[in-house]
Amino acid sequence: MLKSDADHPFFRPLWRRIAVFVVCLVWSALEFYGGSQNWGVIALGFAGYAAYAYLFRYSPPDENKKPPTKE
């Protein structure tokens, strides 16, 4: 099974996944406030992807599962 970027150990803590999502939302809001609708929509798309990949689809790793061994 292929691992996605959302499975990277950096994103294991919940607060980091939420932080990425919030940063994308704030970036989008700042772009809309500054009058740049195109960049605002792009940043909103990033926020949507972050919400899906890092919050909705994420499943925490099983801590009791042993890592595979190479033979």
Helices 37-50 and 14-33 pack at an angle, to 10 degrees, of 170
Output the pLDDT for position 3: 62
* pTM (two decimals): 0.75
Task: Please report where in the chains the tokens 């809309």 appear, as a residue.
Answer: 32
Q: What pLDDT tens digit does each residue of the chain (71 aa) get?
A: 446 677 778 888 888 999 999 999 999 999 999 999 999 999 999 999 999 988 888 776 666 666 666 66
Parse the chain into domains and list their residue ranges. 25-58
Output the pLDDT for position 61: 64
